[in-house]
Amino acid sequence: MLRKKATTEDGSHTFYLPEIDEHYHSTHGAIQESTHIFIKAGFNQIKKNDINILEVGFGTGLNALLSMIESDKTQQNINYYGVEKYPLSKEEYSGLNYPELTGFDCTPTFHAMHDRNWGETIKLTSHFKLTKIKADIKDYELTPLPFFDLIYYDAFAPNKQAGMWDKSIFEKIYQHAVSGAILVTYCVQGAVRRNLEQVGFVAERIPGPPGKREMLRVIK
């Protein structure tokens, strides 16, 4: 999969995929978008001391990095599971500028997120454990994992990867989420919202990040 590094409007990097004409993040700002959708609308809504997070589309590791930084601020303990079918190469992730833009000295930790073995649980800070799973979420069984409090759904858009937004995936996630669990995603397409609601989630459209009027937050 050919990926070309690009710089978004807030100065943070993303990748562009010519094959499907799609960026990993909003061109209005990668860090800005992830902070708004996944941290403010997701992470900050969970008030438990111990949180199990599932990310569908680990990608560049930006959402994991921001969640790790946030857990240090809030002192919440995070077990983070990222599912990704197409991992970045060392050359790709080592060139990303997220650590320097977050204001934290976390470059070695960010690289460790990508360096360490898939399927291995690693403790990156006193509050943050990461397990990366190299798999297609459509085929992967969630049953060995703990039930989730928070889901970051960050797959490519439905018009690029329609199968990633199938009701069967949402059903699998719903069955493996605790009561009150939150799922957040940038996508507000009517078909996606209906699929989420048909498996049992309660959906709401809330204000999106700059460049996107709305986003979706759903609750079990």
Q: What is the mean pLDDT of residues 135-160?
A: 96
Q: pLDDT at position 50, please? A: 98
User: Does residue 1 carry a pLDDT above 80?
Assistant: no
CA distance 31 to 10: 7
Mean pLDDT of the chain: 96
Q: What is the mean pLDDT of residues 11-28?
A: 96
Q: pLDDT at position 105, please? A: 78
The verdict on residue 10 lying in a domain is no
Q: What is the pLDDT of residues 35-70, one digit of tens each?
A: 999 999 999 999 999 999 999 999 999 999 999 999
Q: What is the mean pLDDT of residues 80-108?
A: 94
Domain that holds residue 167: 30-219
The verdict on residue 87 lying in a domain is yes
The verdict on residue 12 lying in a domain is no
Q: What is the mean pLDDT of residues 152-164?
A: 95
Q: pLDDT at position 104, please? A: 79
Tokens at 64, concatenated: 């994991």
CA of residue 154 relative to chain centroid, distance: 5
Among the listed residues 79, 47, 63, 58, the one whose alpha carbon sits nearest the alpha carbon of residue 147: 79
Tokens at 165, concatenated: 């937004």
Q: What is the pLDDT of residues 110-142, one digit of tens each?
A: 999 999 999 999 999 999 999 999 999 999 999
The verdict on residue 198 lying in a domain is yes
The verdict on residue 125 lying in a domain is yes
The verdict on residue 3 lying in a domain is no
The verdict on residue 22 lying in a domain is no
Residue 128: give its domain's CATH number.
Answer: 3.40.50.150
Q: What is the mean pLDDT of residues 157-171?
A: 95
The verdict on residue 84 lying in a domain is yes
Q: pLDDT at position 150, please? A: 98
H-type alpha helices, 46-106? 62-74, 90-93, 98-102
The domain total for the chain is 1
